[in-house]
Structure 1
Amino acid sequence: MDSPSVLPLPESIQGFPPLPPASLDPFLDATSRCFARYGVRRTSVQDVAQELGVNRTTVYRQVGNIEQQAMLLAARDSHRLLSSLPGRISFPIGPRSVVDLLATLVREARAHPVLAKMLADERDLIGSFVARDVPDLMERATTAFVPLVSLAIGTGNLARRDPVALAQWLVRITASLILIEPPGDLTDFLGELLIPALTPTSPAPPSRRRRLR
């Protein structure tokens, strides 16, 4: 049976940008609130300083300018999301648990206050982010998913497929659904094609030869 104790996801997170130290959390929390309130483009370092109750120099010294703050916030929240994956997976891993996991990731990403604000008011910023940063981010996310799908394929709970290619597909499907909400129920939408594609095929029964008398 698959077990969270053998899922090597924490090591794969090392491919992501470094996790900011916890001492920066108050600054990044203030940045997140300002982004969600004003939008990334309209947020200034002064806004973050006022939100936190400190001066601009302190904010610059700790987390830099707005672009640097955005990168630190993205790195922190990516680490938090990936670190939580083992606790979100139903074991043993099978087609349904994969669909449920992807649906959860999509819902939580779309509910993130900063991303929700960008999807509503700053889609052009998302476009530039997709062109500049998403390819590398997706490659790193794929690296994080490969151990998961390899484990499930090896135990016979998922159909036998190239684990790297399968991880690529799952990551790309997830990313596209985060940016563009599907019609109808998300879980049903994912399951319609993923359940058949991920379900292992049963071995054909051995043929019986007629005995000639």
Structure 2
Amino acid sequence: MGHHGWRGRPPASEAEARQRIVDATVRCIDRHGVVKTTLSDVANELGVTRQTVYRHFGRISDIIGEVAAQGAESFVDRLIAHLQGIGDPADAVVEGMVFCVRTIPNEPRLSLLLQLEDSAAFGRGATTAEAIAYGAEMLKRFPVDWAAAGVAEDELDGLAEIVMRLLTSLLQHPSEPPRDEAEVRAVLYRWLAPALRAGGLRPE
């Protein structure tokens, strides 16, 4: 592939090169923060030229977007694991949202999801059709029998939109003074959970 540098260990494939660039970017972000991380930083971390990085990613924002996307995939796996055993739809949605509010702001890589305009989850683009479809796929992975709860598969987009809008607001515009976890949970149980309880899902 004609790679120079790479600290004497050139990647064996395009996929490996891209992943190594992503991993190097994560290390740079951990050291410098996302705003101060440049494409030159990433190139230096890898021992390659900027032109080498450009062959795989056109802009630093493209690399950071991939970092965020991979972080989202890992985060969703953790979220689903956290919800195992919670089969009630109201409990699962509320506890899933509380988990998001607790976890995302305290992990720098997950916080990228809030900073990207076109983030597929939890960012400023969280109400696009793509993001809502992403949220619906997340809900399908919840340990909930949605059909038994009265939610048809084609209705999950609507629920996902409500959840994504609420999460975006809770994460980007926290209350002043800030609510603690118990207070966030109480608000969600008071105003969101009733719509997910048996008999509250569909108007008569």
TM-score tier by shorter-chain length is 0.5 to 0.7
**Retained in 2: the 8 A contact 1:34–1:47?**
yes
Root mean square deviation, CA, Å? 3.6
- Partners of 2:127 and 2:15 lie apart in 1 by 23
Aligned: 1:175 with 2:173:
no
Aligned: 1:61 with 2:59:
no
Aligned: 1:197 with 2:190:
no
Aligned: 1:107 with 2:105:
no
1:47 CA drift (Å):
0.9
Figure out how many residues of one structure are paired with residues of the other and give that number: 176
Amino acid at match of 1:196: P
Q: How does 1:1-213 map to 2 (within 5 A)?
A: 21=15, 24-94=18-88, 95-114=90-109, 116=111, 135-145=128-138, 147-148=140-141, 152-156=145-149, 162-182=155-175, 183-186=178-181, 187-201=185-199
Q: Which runs of 5+ in 1 are unaligned?
A: 1-19, 120-124, 203-213
**Retained in 1: the 8 A contact 2:83–2:96?**
yes
Counterparts in 2 of 1:63 and 1:83: CA distance versus 1, 3 Å: farther
Counterparts in 2 of 1:74 and 1:27: CA distance versus 1, 3 Å: same
Amino acid at match of 1:169: I
Counterparts in 2 of 1:71 and 1:117: CA distance versus 1, 3 Å: closer
- Partners of 2:101 and 2:16 lie apart in 1 by 26
Which has a greater percent of helix? 1
Local SS of the residue matching 2:192: helix
Counterparts in 2 of 1:181 and 1:29: CA distance versus 1, 3 Å: farther
Amino acid at match of 2:92: S
- Partners of 1:83 and 1:23 lie apart in 2 by 25
**TM-score, normalisation: structure 2:** 0.65
- Partners of 2:113 and 2:144 lie apart in 1 by 36
1:83 CA drift (Å):
4.2
Counterparts in 2 of 1:180 and 1:198: CA distance versus 1, 3 Å: same
**Larger relative contact order (Cα-Cα within 8 Å, sequence gap ≥ 6):** 1
Q: Which runs of 5+ in 2 are unaligned?
A: 1-13
Amino acid at match of 1:194: L
